[in-house]
Structure 1
Amino acid sequence: MPWLEIIGWTGSVLVVVSLMQARVLRFRWMNFAGSVVAAGYNAVVEIWPFAAMNGVIAVIDAYWLWRLTRERHDADVYQVVPVGPRDDYLRHVLGVHADDIARYYPSFALDDPGARWAYLVLHGDETVGVVVVRDAGEGVGEVQLDYVTPRFRDFAPGEFVYRRSGAFAGSGLRLLVVVDDAQDSGDYLRRVGFTHEAGRWRREVAPATP
Structure 2
Amino acid sequence: MDILNNWKEIIGYIGTVLIAASLMMNSIGKLRKVNLAGASTFAFYGLLVSAYPVFVLNSFISAVDIFYLIRMKMEKDFFELFRIYRSNNPFLVRFVEFYRDDIVRFFPQFRLEPHKEDYIIIFILRNMMPVGLFIARPIEDNNLQICLDYVIPRYRDLKSAHYFYRRSHNIFDELNCQYFYVYSEVKKHITYLKKVGFTPAEEKGSGWYRRKVHYE
TM-score, with normalisation over the residues of structure 1? 0.73
Q: 3-state SS of the aligned residue for 2:121?
A: strand
Q: Which residue of 1 aligns with 2:176?
A: 173
Q: Which residue of 2 aligns with 1:103?
A: 105
Structure 2 counterpart of 1:52, one-letter code: V
Q: 2-side partners of 1:17 and 1:179: how far apart?
A: 31
Q: 2-side partners of 1:41 and 1:182: how far apart?
A: 41
Q: Which residue of 2 aligns with 1:185?
A: 190
Structure 2 counterpart of 1:174, one-letter code: C
**What runs of 5+ residues in structure 2 fail to find an aligned partner?**
none
Q: CA deviation at 1:145?
A: 0.8
Q: 3-state SS of the aligned residue for 2:193?
A: helix
Q: Which residue of 2 aligns with 1:80?
A: 80
Q: Relative to structure 1, is the Cα distance of residues 153 and 17 closer, same or farther in structure 2, using a 3 angstrom cutoff?
A: same
Identity of aligned residues (%): 26
Equivalent position to 2:67, from 63, 66, 70: 63
The total of aligned residue pairs comes to 202
Q: CA deviation at 1:12?
A: 2.4
Cα RMSD after superposing both structures: 3.4
Q: Relative to structure 1, is the Cα distance of residues 55 and 125 closer, same or farther in structure 2, using a 3 angstrom cutoff?
A: farther
Q: 1-side partners of 2:178 and 2:161: how far apart?
A: 17
* Conserved? CA contact 2:79–2:128, under 8 Å: no
Q: Which residue of 2 aligns with 1:54?
A: 58
Q: CA deviation at 1:101?
A: 1.5
116-125 or 10-19, which moves further after superposition? Answer: 116-125
Q: Which residue of 2 aligns with 1:90?
A: 92
Q: CA deviation at 1:55?
A: 0.8
Q: Which residue of 2 aligns with 1:5?
A: 9
Q: Give structure 1 regions of 4+ aligned residues with deviation exceeding 6 angstroms.
A: none
Residue correspondence of structure 1 range 73-152 to structure 2 within 5 A? 77=77, 79-84=79-84, 85-111=87-113, 113-124=116-127, 126-136=129-139, 139-152=142-155
* Conserved? CA contact 1:117–1:133, under 8 Å: yes
* Conserved? CA contact 2:103–2:150, under 8 Å: yes
Q: Relative to structure 1, is the Cα distance of residues 165 and 120 closer, same or farther in structure 2, using a 3 angstrom cutoff?
A: farther
**What runs of 5+ residues in structure 1 fail to find an aligned partner?**
none
* Conserved? CA contact 2:82–2:125, under 8 Å: no
Q: CA deviation at 1:205?
A: 4.8
Q: 2-side partners of 1:171 and 1:187: how far apart?
A: 27
Structure 1 counterpart of 2:98, one-letter code: V
Deviations 1:160-180 (A, max 9, x none): 223325152453333343143
TM-score, with normalisation over the residues of structure 2? 0.71
